[in-house]
Structure 1
Amino acid sequence: MTPGDLPIFDQTDHGIKLIEEERRRIARDLHDGPAQAITNVSMRLDIVRRLMDSQPNLAAEELDRLQQRVRGLVSEVRRLIYDLRPVAIDEVGVVQATVQLCERNQHDWEIPIRVEVSDNISLNIAPARQVAIYRMIQEILNNVHKHAEATEVVVSFEQLDQNLVVRVVDNGKGFHPDSIPEGHFGIAGLKERVAFLNGELTILSAPGTGSTFEIHLPVYIGTK
């Protein structure tokens, strides 16, 4: 039985579970990023206060460094806000939104990320499904960045009959798909997201060979 065949109450419970998992991801990103950085800035400001009278030059230099750090924090918070609801999906669709995501990640992570789109692809996809597809690509890319140690990533879109096929391929260190490494929490959630959309997820990887994430989704049928 697929999620689409579940009774309405089970579907609702599953949807709530996915929402809660997304909230936990956001909380984790806030804790690991801005929250820790702000704590560090606060501690360094205490040091600056103690230096102001005895070593004003050092205090001024530290304030300059803190100012740069705060500017970086503002950019990071803006990125997290954007990730909550990427406006580009509503405006230009999932493919172009993914291009923008990859361009931003390429700049921030300093990893070449290429997007390839087949000529026959149709964008007649329900908006909610486009957001779900974007989230899955985002999760895969985050895992690649955190764990793969890749120097190149390719994201591709292809239409096969009534299915959208999304692939994310990296040349990183790879892993055993049947034994998810510690810290790869996003993969379990990714599998649930794909199953909830009646799709299929295939992960091809082995140590030293890179990884391929391939998602098949029946997005062109009954997309209302």
Structure 2
Amino acid sequence: MTEFNPEQVRFAIIIATLVMLMMAIFAIVFVIYYQHKRLDQEKKLRDVEKSYQRILLETALRSEESERRRIAQDLHDDIGTMLSLTKLSLNQLAKLLYKDESRLAPIQPGAAHLNTPRAELTLNKAQSLVEETIVHVRRITRDLVPTTLDQFGLVAGIEEFIHRMDDSYALSVHFHCEGEDIPRQSPKVELALYRIMQELVNNAIKHANCDEIVIGLHLRQGKIELQVTDNGKGFDATTVEAGGQAGLGLRNIESRLSVINGEVDYQKLDIRGSSAKVQIPVEPQRSEKPEPLHPFRRTMVKG
């Protein structure tokens, strides 16, 4: 029978202990590596999902703008043309109604005279309705496709929006802008900011019960800041979102901001009213191009 001396036993125990330690270390390293690999894959999956969601949002927004342009084109080409022809026909009818009595045929007893005050009043009312409808169609077309925004930039687009509002709403709208310091951005960014501004102003008109709105556009610390403030009854975005009451307008704002890497901060003012501040990073300076003449200030807009 073979006998082991204490040194051999001690050596065997050390070897076995080292093997077990190596196996334990290997198992720990494998688990850590596996966890790291799994977390890395989950992060990549989240990035892919976020990128995919962003692509879907951009596609949806492009489709929305494309549909807006199609509707605006139909309004301009079809409805606008029909209204113009209707206006022309009414003008021709007015000439027939207002022609000299000497040129009219003798009126038979009991026959209705066409050139009566009632007929004139009806014609004038029809002409006024057609004129008003043409004005509304043009306004809707400009709202659907802000051509001033495309040609002259965000500042001119907001100024035109306010100029049209002065004739439609009984409230005061002010615009403060450091226009000379704000560079032109890509059409996607300018259109997103313009739509967000529209949504914020429309929300203030519909829900805030205000009589004054202030729009600010500034360049601060490498970011473009758009701020819309009203003196209405106030708006607590945190309470609305926590209660699941956020409407389509707020969700549209969040969607547009996610596409252009922007953020929004809603504040309920202490005295009265609320404020929404939107910030987006300034894009790299685009190549210098001569800008067309500004439609309101009649000066050259700097890019």
TM-score (ref. length: structure 1):
0.72
Percent identity between the two aligned chains = 24
Distance 1:217 1:135 in 2: 14
Write the mapping of 1:18-29 to structure 2, written as runs, cut at 5 A.
Answer: 18-19=61-62
Look up the SS of the partner of 2:167 in the other structure. helix
Is the CA contact 1:118–1:158 (under 8 Å) kept in the aligned structure 2? yes
Counterpart amino acid of residue 190 in structure 1: I
Q: Which has the higher contact order (CA 8 A, sep 6+)?
A: 1
Letter in 1 for 2:56: D
Letter in 1 for 2:257: V
The code of the aligned residue for 2:255 comes to: E
Could you tell me how far 1:90 is from its partner in structure 2? 2.7
What secondary structure does 1:109 align onto?
coil
Q: List gaps (5 residues or longer) in structure 2.
A: 1-42, 72-78, 80-111, 288-303
> How far apart are residue 213 of structure 1 and its match?
1.1
* Alignment match, 2:273: 210
Farther off after superposition, 77-86 or 119-128: 119-128
Question: Structure 1 stretch 113-122 or stretch 212-221: which is displaced more?
Answer: 113-122
TM-score by length of 2: 0.55
- Give the aligned partner of residue 106 of structure 1: 166
Q: Deviations over 1:100-139 (max 9, x none)?
A: 1111112211321111013773224223211221111112
Q: Which has the larger radius of gyration?
A: 2
1:173 correspondence with 2:233: yes
Residues 1-224 of structure 1 mapped to structure 2, 5 A cutoff? 6-7=50-51, 9-19=52-62, 61-118=121-178, 121-177=181-237, 178-179=239-240, 184-205=247-268, 209-221=272-284
Aligned-CA RMSD value: 3.8
TM-aligned CA distance change 1:192 to 1:223, over 3 Å? farther
For 1:72 and 1:213, the matched residues in 2 are separated by 34
Deviations 1:130-184 (A, max 9, x none): 1221111112112222222211111111111221000011111223313169795
Aligned residues: 199
Quote how far apart the aligned CAs of 1:88 are: 1.2
SS at match of 2:181: coil
Contact kept in structure 1, 2:240 and 2:246, CA below 8 Å: no
Unmatched runs of 5 consecutive residues or more in structure 1: 28-33, 35-52
